[in-house]
Structure 1
Amino acid sequence: MTIGTLTGLCVALFIAAAALFHQFGRSATGPRVGRVLRWLAFAGTVGIAVAALPEALADSSVVVALLAVPVVLGLLVVVADAAGRAVGPVTAIAAALMLGWGVFLAMAFTPYFVFPALVLGVAAVASVRPRRVAGGRSA
């Protein structure tokens, strides 16, 4: 799988998730969906890092440091979710950074960090709150 394919897949999934959430509304999703997706992304990130650690240790200590970045991003999202502060923006920023870092790691080491970034992207879309308009209906 090439980097262009991974990037196209990421963009297509983000657009599909946004369209589904827009079509079916927020009442079907609720805040729990975003929380479950954030924890799933964090667990997946840690699992991928642990699975890639033996090969990373064989390569160099620099690769181990490169593996730590997605884990820290996933941890930031989980901490923001637990604190209940700026969950949407933190999730969106972490998803974008993890996607970029995943594509960077895919060029040299492993492409698997792109998948938790996709899950975080969907969690970011799920955590966007609908705007209220003057009539009391959501836009």
Structure 2
Amino acid sequence: MRDALNKTSTQQFMKFAAVGIFSFMVDWLLLVILTEGFGIDYLVSTTVSFLVSVSLNYALSMKYVFEHRDDMSRKREFTIFAILSCIGLGLTDVLMFAGVTILNIAYQAMKVIATFCVTWYNFFTRKKFLSATN
């Protein structure tokens, strides 16, 4: 039984990772375009690109990664997702500010580091609050 649960969790995490990689590519590309192409401050670009990618991630995650809970309306599901994502955005912005402004790490590299850190938070909180298979 435990092996089946581990296999299911591993498969679910792999799907989550695939969706996340795609969403990250959109997020990172938009960040660079807004910052380099339009001269927008990296923190503003980070926030805009994060919000775009989180919307994409929601649609893909709820379709391919997490099973819809029958006891939860789509409106409530999205509200929880949005709240968890706002916390993730806050974590991302704090990490970006600390890495770029305080530690003098290039914003592109720091985005990769911040995304890696926030990915774990995203997976476990979304699994706990949104998935029918906790």
Provide the TM-score with structure 2 as the length reference: 0.34
Bigger proportion of residues as helix: 2
Larger RCO of the pair (alpha carbons < 8 Å, separation 6+): 1
